[in-house]
A and B are shown apart, each in its own frame.
Chain A
Amino acid sequence: MDKEILDKHWQSSRRLLWKVLAAWFFFAYVIHLFVGALNEATVGGFPLGYYFAAQGSLFAFVVIIFCFARAQEKIDTAHGVDEETGGAAATVTKTPAGENQ
């Protein structure tokens, strides 16, 4: 396979990783540092700091992983290294398969 395309793929993948980890870090740590202040606010009866610890962050993680899976799949397809189109597209033509979508 073309080394240049592979390098680009890995570059995009790493960029995605940092974005995802930043979102994870925010909901796992940053937001809970402000629990005191957030608890002053109330949404639907929930003190906001408690809400994030008991439900909000958990839901955010679910969303983050679904978004990550989809974004990484797009990156794989666009560089022709995904499992469905990858094998054929990458060896026959070197055009990224995802661009046809």
Chain B
Amino acid sequence: MSAAAPDFQRNLNKIYGIYAGGFLAFIALMAVLDTAGVGETVISYGFVGFTIFIYAAIGVVSRTALVSQYYVAGRSVPAVYNGMATAADWMSGASFVAMAGGIFFTGYGYTSLLVGWTGGYVLVATLLAPYLRKFGAYTVPDFLGARYGGNLARFFGVVVLFVCSLTYVTSQINATGTIASRAFGVPFELAVFFGLAGILMCSMLGGMRAVTWTQVAQYIVLIFAYIMPVVWLSIVWEQGFLPQLAYGGLLKDIAELEVQHGLGTEAYETAKSEFKGVKAITNPHWLAKADAVSLWKYATLTFCLMAGTASLPHILMRFFTTPSVREARVSVAWSLLFIFLLYFTAPALATFAKFNFLNNLVGMEAAALEGLNWFARWKEVQFADFVDLNSDGIVGMGELMIRADVVVLATPEMAGLPYWVSGLVAAGGLAAALSTADGLLLAIANALSHDVYGKIINPQASAQLRLVVARVILIGVGILGASIAALRLTGILGGVIWAFSFAASGLFVPLVLGVWWKRANRAGALAGIAAGFISGSFYLYYLRGMGGEPILYLDHLRFGIVGMVVCFVVMVAVSLMTAEPEKEIQDMVDDIRYPVGEPSVKKYLRAHE
């Protein structure tokens, strides 16, 4: 099997070129079938079924029996491809489906998520990725275990990793279930397990190696599915070929329309929908509140997300797969560029949707709105609603309500784009959710199989046995995640942001200080991780479980700030009160600073024996 690897890797450009071409041809085929009138079911099945089939095929072809292939893709993924894989790993169902809707409803406040979810990569590139790559770990807890002398630190790392990644993966399986249930017309609880089967197909046989190459394929699908409809909209609405630069002109118009429709005046009333999650516009589209409290909330949320980015194990471990330290650094830059392509399109889409909403829908006659095809369709699934508050027979801004997801899912229909575009968007959303779920599941399963089983429980296990255990754990964690997702505990976005705060509370400080502060020692790290993680989690419980008032405006999305501050103070204090780390560890910290030479962990293990 592994004999096929070099061939495959030498021909990456060719293979993915053919793949992208094939995908375009498939879209064209769907477009032709759609025009010929084969019906929407065929188109939905076609898009979702075809893409899942491709991912599964890549997953099977990339199967492996080698430990280093399974855990770090043989450390042979070129920077640009690792960038694409990281971008797919990163951009979840939430980024794809909910982001534009969030900007649509929340306005300026939501841009703190855009800044936070991109700025974190500067921290990844400068503080962590190259050094962890030189260290030569398989997993993030691997680094903690070696740097902080022993299996206890490793185990603490696994606990934090498990909580933050499981919080995150649950919402991704939820998103795959939502899309699968709509495409195949099966109940959500069942669709969740369909989604899981798709996820496991990609990762089970080939581990990191298979996930890497499916994620690259998924990135191509998701970025095309996101940008193409927006460019098309832009052309239909006469805004030119570059919507990302053109939407500025609409912002002032939107502000005027908002005033015209009474936003922010006392007379402005919004209707209530009986459907869950359906709401009317209540915030200005771009106007920012610039008082001290708003700025503080903006900055704290941004920081939580950035620190979380730099400590989420499924992202950090992607940079373990590059051939060199140099490529790890460059790869972070490519990752962010590929992420940027979607993130700078989202506000354009939100702005077009908002302009269409205010200019064309608000102010029309109620009967005409009810007669619109797309409105009837989305109302039927409880994603859109209209309540005539003042009974004047005209659609008011506060009377027309949609769910945030509708901005991405239904805007093509609103603009009269053909149905196959919606099929493409569904395939993109599925790619986004699948790729993130894959990365997360693998991060959890690898930590449990490599760190807990391979290093703590049974260090003598053969490579063969370790891989079998890794796969069994992967399936187990997947079923656990799907079972939790089937309970529908949180919305897609809430779960995602909590994951960032969990990761930031327990991992950010020990990882950064582990690289940058030689004096940080075992006692400090253990105390810091425990104190940070427990205090962050308790603060979340205080807010949500006990109904406590936020301290310093730090609400449940920002509990990572509390965890990080506690973690930092405790870790520094305890480190200084106890003896400095042994010489071998200090030498290892020195060694990770220089890209040249063999992995630092090897030298350390030799010196240690």
Chain A residues with a Cβ under 8 A of chain B: 1, 6, 9-10, 13, 17, 20-21, 24, 27-29, 32-33, 35-37, 39, 42-47, 49-51, 53-55, 57-59, 61-62, 64-66, 68-69, 72-73, 76, 80-83, 86-87, 90
Contacts and interface: CB of A to CB of B under 8 A. Distances in A.
Chain B interface residue number, banded? 35 or more
A65 B336 contact: yes
B74 interface: no
B298 interface: yes
29 contacts: A10-B593, A13-B593, A20-B126, A21-B122, A21-B126, A24-B122, A28-B122, A35-B295, A39-B286, A42-B252, A45-B248, A53-B288, A54-B103, A57-B118, A58-B344, A61-B121, A61-B122, A61-B340, A65-B121, A66-B337, A69-B329, A72-B329, A76-B326, A76-B595, A83-B324, A83-B595, A86-B594, A86-B595, A86-B597
Contacts of A47: 251-252, 286
B152 interface: no
A81 B594 CA distance: 6
A-B pairs, top 4 by smallest CB distance, nearest first, are A45-B248, A36-B290, A86-B596, A53-B111
Contact of A82 (B245, B326, B590): B326
A76 B369 CA distance: 64
Contact of B326 (A6, A20, A32, A83): A83
A1 B593 CA distance: 13
Contacts of A64: 122
A51 B287 CA distance: 11
Which of B123, B126, B286, B324 has the most CB atoms of chain A within a 10 A radius of its CB? B126
Contacts of A50: 108, 111, 251, 286, 288
B417 interface: no
B115 A53 contact: yes
B580 to A, nearest CB: 19
Contacts of A1: 594
Interface of B: 103, 108, 111-112, 114-115, 118-119, 121-123, 125-127, 130, 244-245, 247-252, 286-288, 290, 295, 298-299, 302, 306, 324-326, 329-330, 332-333, 336-337, 340, 343-344, 347, 590, 593-597
A62 B340 contact: yes
Contact of A59 (B108, B344, B597): B344
Given A36-B288, A90-B596, A65 B332 contact: yes
B295 to A, nearest CB: 6
Nearest to A16: B126
B264 to A, nearest CB: 16
Contacts of A10: 593
Contacts of A83: 324-326, 595-596
A65 B288 contact: no
Given A39-B287, A45-B249, A50-B288, A69 B330 contact: yes
B395 to A, nearest CB: 27
A55 B596 contact: no
Which of B125, B252, B302, B347 has the most CB atoms of chain A within a 10 A radius of its CB? B125
Contacts of B336: 61-62, 65
Given A27-B119, A45-B248, A82-B326, A87 B288 contact: no
A87 to B, nearest CB: 6
Contact of A62 (B245, B247, B337, B597): B337
